[in-house]
Amino acid sequence: MELTNKEFKIAEAITQKLRDSGFVAYLAGGCVRDFLMNRPPTDYDIATTAQPEHVEQLFDKTVPVGKQFGVMLVLVEGITFEVATFRSEGAYLDGRHPTKVSFTTPEEDAERRDFTVNGLFFDPAT
């Protein structure tokens, strides 16, 4: 599948800006699954070593939807992209929110994800 749609190009630019600022950044989860299944992704999530405050500094329009968990929204040209810091998590006492979040490596982040496909990362630069 040729990845030329507008959303992909913006997601690619977001990952490049993060990398240019010294962070690791990959596309993650469902969009990677969709690439592998040769179907157009419905959204693009980005996983990175950049912490929320770095994301806020790098991008003009952000929304701290889950800042305490490392999750920010980046808005570009009216399109929303979830940008999440690689993390590991403590126990889920309420079944929904971890008691503790630690920012970590891509490998550790992949291990905590709920489905194997969500642990797939794609580097649009390579």
Sequence letter at residue 62:
T
pLDDT digits (tens, 9 = 90+) for 1-26: 444 589 999 999 999 999 999 999 99
pLDDT in tens, 44-83: 999 999 999 999 999 999 999 989 888 999 999 999 999 9
CA 58 to CA 5: how far, in whole Å? 23
Q: Which SS3 state, helix, strand or coil, does residue 60 take?
A: coil
Q: What is the pTM of this model?
A: 0.84
Rg of the chain taking only CA atoms, in angstroms: 14
Phi and psi at residue 61, to the nearest 5°: -120, 110
- At residue 120, the pLDDT reads 76
Cβ proximity of 42 and 34 under 8 Å: yes
